[in-house]
Amino acid sequence: MATETVTCTVCELHAEAIFRVEGMDCNEEVVILERRLKPLAGLEALSADLIGQRLHVKYDAAKLTTSAMVDAVGETGMRMWLESEEPMVGGAALDSRRKLMLICGGLLLVAALFQAEGLPRAAMAFYVAGTTVGVAFPARRALTAARSRILDINVLMVIAVIGALALGDWPEAASVVFLFAVAQWLEVRTMEGARQAIRALIDLAPREALVRRNGREERIPVDAIAPGDEIVIRPGEKVPLDGLVIGGRSDVNEAPLTGESRPIDKEPGDEVYAGTINGRGAMEVRVLRFGRDSRLSRIIHLVETAQAKRAPVQSFVDRFARIYTPVVLALAVIVAAVPPLVAGAEAATWIYRALVLLVIACPCALVISTPVSIVAALSAAARHGVLIKGGASLERLASIRIVAFDKTGTLTKGELTVTDVAVVGRASALDVIRLAAAVEARSAHPVAAAISRHAQALLPD
């Protein structure tokens, strides 16, 4: 897919670029990116795809360069590059969050064991180590958010940890850090599940194709194939690109795209689509569209766009959190300061209570729960072959009272089976099944496979 296009107008040089962003795992990072990039001179518009970790930017190439945007994002602690420059390696954030959670949990457990054995100094050393390791990541994100004038979850967590350390309560600080690491791991894990569902769609089409040029056949990457090229699709192979059959006949399984279990016979003049599976015959196909314009690519684009759309309840929660977070912070300051100053109460006690309020009232669960639940539902549905057009459509399911299903492949398994054998003449049904199974024994056609399975069930010998 092309990731940077430039079009000239009379006075300006407009451009578009698609970037990959490592570290963009929740809406807070999207807000930080917007705050950092929007002040750049020449930036016209940007939109984020949280699921795909993409950033689509429109800008004036005469005033702004892609390298300047990459450098600006680097200042936030995230890493960005043009989509065409480097392949996206999935799972890195998930692995790092899991390691962080396990290390924090392990250090906290060892500290608790030492404390139970009456070794407070050894326990303190492990509490300090667990807190130091666990707070590093949220502290870096909190600093970035503070520079962008954003009060997010990381800021509140760091304030709570600093307060616990000021009171000398290291077990509390280590516990808060560990629980926050668990919450962050769960969020990234759910997001990575949604991304895996998208990658499964992308993997439906092969990366290479057998192309016939100048009387020779060679395998080349799909991205290097243009409309008009002739490709050869052998039996059992996946169709790499949309095209028109110009030679050969075969049956094609289009279930990956349509869900229809019955194979479709293809002959010269018929179209075949990327991601479908060729049957028993070889075909020669003239390519009609680039890989990025195939029907499968359009489906993938629709899914990515749909999952990037925010549900109404998610937008409401985000707006609420922007007001709620400063209010919680201000209320914690009041709880910590007013009783000691006005009533002469013990300062340490009320600071501790303010920290408890800060942790309990932190909108972490509120803000995370909505996008995580929506993404979890979308990804779970995608893994089972159901594509939902974003959180808004998912939310509307609550008001639906009647559902109409397409039976084949939805309410059924999408697999052909023999239900009845109608015999004409004096032959018995078993004889007909035996003869049919003998004829179809070496065929890979779905109908033949159904006959063979039926025969094996009735005639074990």
pLDDT at 461: 60
For the cut 90, the answer to whether the pLDDT of residue 167 exceeds it is no
- CB distance 48 to 24 below 8 Å: yes
Q: Are residues 193 and 100 in the same domain?
A: yes
Q: Which of 185-199, 233-247, 440-454 has the lowest mean pLDDT?
A: 185-199
pLDDT surpasses 80 at 444: no
Phi then psi for 272, rounded to 5 degrees?
A: -125, 155
Q: Which residue has the higher pLDDT, 30 or 365?
A: 30
Q: Is the model's pLDDT at 16 over the cut of 70?
A: yes
- Same domain, yes or no, for 191 and 224? no
Q: How confident is the model at residue 230 (pLDDT cuts 50, 70, 90)?
A: very high
HEC profile for the chain? CCCEEEEECCCCEEEEEEEEEECCCCHHHHHHHHHHHCCCCCEEEEEEECCCCEEEEEEECCCCCHHHHHHHHHCCCCEEEECCCCCCCCCHHHHHHHHHHHHHHHHHHHHHHHHHCCCHHHHHHHHHHHHHHHHHHHHHHHHHHHHCCCCCHHHHHHHHHHHHHHCCCHHHHHHHHHHHHHHHHHHHHHHHHHHHHHHHHHCCCCCEEEEEECCEEEEEEHHHCCCCCEEEECCCCECCCCEEEEECCEEEECHHHHCCCCCEEECCCCEECCCCEECCCCEEEEECCCHHHCHHHHHHHHHHHHHHCCCHHHHHHHHHHHHHHHHHHHHHHHHHHHHHHHHCCCHHHHHHHHHHHHHHHCCHHHHHHHHHHHHHHHHHHHHCCCCCCHHHHHHHHHHCCCCCCCHHHHHCCCCCCCCCCCCCCCCCHHHHHHHHHHHHCCCCCHHHHHHHHHHHHHCCC
User: Which one of the listed residues 71, 223, 265, 406 is annotated catalytic?
Assistant: 406
* pLDDT number for residue 314: 59
- The count of domains in the chain is 4
Q: What is the pTM of this model?
A: 0.58
On whether both 280 and 213 belong to a single domain, the answer is: yes
Same domain, 60 and 183: no
Query: What's the mean pLDDT in 72-79?
Result: 81
Q: Which residue has the higher pLDDT, 85 or 54?
A: 54
pLDDT band at 4 (very low <50, low <70, confident <90, very high): very low
Give the confidence band of 1 by pLDDT, cuts at 50, 70, 90: very low
Pair 106, 191 in one domain: yes
Q: Are 98 and 175 in a shared domain?
A: yes
When comparing pLDDT for 177 and 308, which is higher?
A: 177
pLDDT of 7 over the 70 cut:
no
* Final residue belonging to a domain, choices 241, 269, 293: 293
Residue 224 maps to a domain? yes
406 noted as active-site residue: yes
Same domain, 96 and 162: yes
Structural domain boundaries, residue 432: 416-461
Most confident of 62-76, 230-244, 391-405: 230-244
Looking at the structure, do residues 250 and 122 belong to the same domain, yes or no?
no
User: Which position has the higher pLDDT, 400 or 388?
Assistant: 400
Residues 193 and 106 in one domain: yes
Amino acid at 131: T
Note the pLDDT of residue 367. Answer: 57
Convert the pLDDT of each residue in 17-64 to its tens digit: 888 887 776 667 777 888 888 888 888 888 887 766 778 888 888 888
Residue 402 lies in a domain: no
Answer yes or no: is 409 within a domain. no
Tens of pLDDT, residue by residue over 395-424, are 788 888 998 877 666 677 767 888 888 888
pLDDT score at 232: 92
State the Cα angle at 22 between 190 and 385, rounded to 5°.
Answer: 35
Percent residues over pLDDT 90 in the chain: 7
What does R_g of the chain's alpha carbons equal in angstroms?
30
Higher pLDDT, 455 or 373: 455
Domain end: 293, 319, 342, which one? 293
Flag whether 400 is in a domain.
Answer: no
Question: Residue 347 pLDDT > 90, yes or no?
Answer: no
User: Within a domain: residue 8?
Assistant: yes
pLDDT at 246 over 90: yes
- Using the predicted structure, report yes or no on whether residue 199 has a pLDDT greater than 70: no
| pLDDT score recorded for residue 270 | 92
Assess whether pLDDT exceeds 60 at residue 342. Answer: yes
Asked whether residue 192 falls in the same domain as residue 122, the answer is yes
Judge whether residue 14 has pLDDT over 70. Answer: yes
Kindly state whether residues 73 and 99 are assigned to the same domain.
no
In DSSP terms, which residues pair with 219 in a beta bridge?
210
Mean predicted lDDT score pLDDT of the chain: 79
Are residues 128 and 256 both part of a single domain?
A: no
Domain assignment present for 388: no
How far is residue 242 from each of residues 148, 206, 265, 284, measured CA to CA in Å?
46, 12, 16, 12
